[in-house]
Amino acid sequence: MTHSINPNLSLPPSQERKRQHARGRQIDTTALAEVRALLGNASRQKDLLIEHLHTINDHLGHLPVAHLAALAQEMRMAQTEVFEVASFYHHFTITKEDDAAPTALTLRVCDSLSCEMAGALPLVNQLQHSLDKSIRIQRVPCIGRCEQAPAAMLGQHALPHADLPSIQKAIADNATEAEPLACLDYPAYQALGGYQTLKDCHAGRISREFVFETKDHSGLRGLGGAGFPVGRKWRIVAKEPGPRLMAVNIDEGEPGTFKDRTYLERDPHRFIEGMLIAAWAVDIAEIYIYLRDEYHACRLMLQAELDKLRLHPPVAKLPRIHLRRGAGAYICGEESAMIESIEGKRGLPRLRPPYVAQVGLFNRPTLVHNFETLFWVPTLLEKGAPWFAQHGNNGRAGLRSFSVSGRINKPGVHLAPAGISVNDLINEYCGGMLDGHTLYAYLPGGASGGILPASLSHLPLDFDTLQPHGCFIGSAAVIVLSQIDSAVTAARNTMAFFKHESCGQCTPCRAGTAKSLDLISQEKWDIPLLQDLSAVMRDASICGLGQAAPNPVDCVIKYFPHELMVAEKKA
């Protein structure tokens, strides 16, 4: 029996036939020239991949595969690396050679819970029938403007309380760019005594130990959701070998959360000063600020204010500050996923240990903080730990910034005592319920914090007070439902969000959110199966997304069985 043999296999490597073409997609010279022109003199280092993808996407409105291949060559990366990152983030649109380029104008309408309650879905239907077909209309998850529901974005221009007339006017005016923000700028902040506390730290008038003790005695905890004691975190990172880095999370993507944007728009330098004090106390070499992509106006303002700071620094030695742009991935609010994204990768959460305090950004010990946590740092040092700790209701200490939206008269960010009940929060800070509406239910911690009935509106809103009831406060994003709303509908909305935003890395979350949404979309819920599914997601998911996603569903089963009974009878 004879066998055909490839003659090249018997030859030494030097004599093998040369390939006529290099492996992979061939580089289009025109695309390469355009990519080089767009990048200009910017560094080609790998961690800037997402920044460069934004540059191309902003200019062209999409990412042609020819430009992705050209970018890979320009950055000396494998094409697969570039493609996998570009395809991971929602705000990048990849197009093939035979694809029609997307329309020049994209209108994004938020369909998360607060906006759905304010009529986002009928608005989308109205827009689809009324607007020119050349405008691409997208239903998107939370864009961080829940107090302005229904919220939309035309290009990079935010549209609060959007309706057909306001959207048509924005289109007619070609209002697609972010509007400038009138914030408390660098000179104005300095005129009010800003950066004096930072100067006192650098001059030795305030010691590092005093800073640590102030954080300890104030009881300040991380305000991004996890609630880890700030003083303890600083001490842990400070003990690690240098150089140490800092990563600041302003990627608030939890439906119902908008406090960081609100404070940043008004008073950016209080945050910057707090960040620089933390950097001094922990001896941080470089700082990376990760800002969510939907906050275009904030990004332009923050970059301008950081430039002013560099030109006229308040102290002699400042760490280098990098401003990085997210690309539409809720999962990057998780600290290790954010770090991966800053490094120019897909935002996939890391397994622990090691923890980011030991091995974080670029494998260096990293201090990770939420925006609002750092915002409080100068105030606490100026007014003292007792001032902060003296506030609080129901045996709790401190102040909390609540993002409140839904059926209330005054949605917005309300600074209130920690431990306040939602009933008091609504009546004393939010102007009460809307006329004709009564409290039916509320989400105390955004989409993942669970759903509680009005009968539990007396519970203190703070860390560690809601867990016995199957909920948590998280980033203090409170969404208020009235008698015209449904907890079942709220659970479906939040689970659809989690299914959309799961990074897909682990099966319990990827498959669990999809299966759970299928089950709760039925009129009759298979409660035993849902409970089993919730247990698996909590126990086996890698990060908090999959672990917390079942909370609203579990709360409906526990606190709103009457809604399920009514639906079952209809079925």
Answer yes or no: is pLDDT of 5 > 50. Answer: no
Mean pLDDT (whole number) for 177-205: 96
400-439+457-480 in CATH: which number? 3.10.20.600
Using pLDDT thresholds of 50, 70 and 90, give the confidence band for residue 3.
very low
pLDDT at res. 566:
77
SS3 content of the chain, % helix, strand, coil (to 5): 45, 15, 40
Percent of the chain exceeding pLDDT 90 equals 91
Answer yes or no: is pLDDT of 8 > 60. Answer: no
Mean pLDDT (whole number) for 290-296: 97
Nearest to 319 by CA among 248, 371, 214, 251: 248
At 444, phi and psi to the nearest 5? Answer: -80, -20
Position of tokens 């939907």? 294
Mean pLDDT (whole number) for 4-28: 56
* CA 9 to chain CA centroid, nearest Å: 53
Per CATH, domain 488-570 is 3.20.20.60: no
Q: What is the mean pLDDT of the chain?
A: 94
Using pLDDT thresholds of 50, 70 and 90, give the confidence band for residue 4.
very low
pLDDT at res. 50:
98
> pLDDT tens across 139-159, in order?
999 999 999 999 999 999 999
Answer yes or no: is pLDDT of 22 > 70. Answer: no
* CA 491 to chain CA centroid, nearest Å: 20
Q: For 105-172, give the CATH class.
A: alpha beta
pLDDT at res. 99:
85
Task: From the options 1.10.287, 1.10.3470, 3.40.50, 1.10.10, give the CATH code of 29-95.
Answer: 1.10.10
> pLDDT tens across 442-499, in order?
999 999 999 999 999 999 999 999 999 999 999 999 999 999 999 999 999 999 999 9
Cβ atoms of residues 430 and 402 within 8 Å? no
Using pLDDT thresholds of 50, 70 and 90, give the confidence band for residue 23.
low
Q: What letter does residue 43 receive in the DSSP assignment?
A: -
pLDDT at res. 571:
61
Cβ atoms of residues 515 and 522 within 8 Å? no
Nearest to 268 by CA among 289, 246, 284: 289
Per CATH, domain 186-382 is 3.40.50.11540: yes
pLDDT at res. 94:
96
Neighbours of 132 (CB within 10 A): 8
Crossing angle of helices 561-570 and 487-501, in 10° steps, is 90
- What distances in angstroms separate CA 279 from CA 206, 237, 569, one per listed residue? 14, 11, 60
Cβ atoms of residues 90 and 327 within 8 Å? yes
Answer yes or no: is pLDDT of 110 > 60. Answer: yes
Q: How far apart are CA 5 and CA 512, in angstroms?
A: 50
pLDDT at res. 7:
42
Tokens of 537: 């997601």
Answer yes or no: is pLDDT of 9 > 60. Answer: no
Answer yes or no: is pLDDT of 561 > 80. Answer: yes
> pLDDT tens across 298-318, in order?
999 999 999 999 999 999 999
- Residue ranges covered by each domain of the chain: 29-95, 105-172, 186-382, 400-439+457-480, 488-570
Cβ atoms of residues 56 and 70 within 8 Å? no
Sort strands 244-250 and 366-370 into parallel, antiparallel or unpaired.
Answer: parallel
- Strand order, beta sheet including 477-482: 412-417, 399-406, 477-482, 439-447, 452-453
Using pLDDT thresholds of 50, 70 and 90, give the confidence band for residue 2.
very low
Answer yes or no: is pLDDT of 20 > 60. Answer: no
Which of the residue ranges 94-103, 367-376, 436-445 would you say has the lowest mean pLDDT?
94-103
Nearest to 373 by CA among 567, 164, 223, 528: 223
First to last CA, the chain: 69
Mean pLDDT (whole number) for 404-432: 98
At 367, phi and psi to the nearest 5? Answer: -90, 115
pLDDT at res. 12:
53
Q: How far apart are CA 197 and CA 215, in angstroms?
A: 15
List of residues 6+ apart from 51 with CB closer than 8 A: 42, 324, 325
pLDDT at res. 24:
65
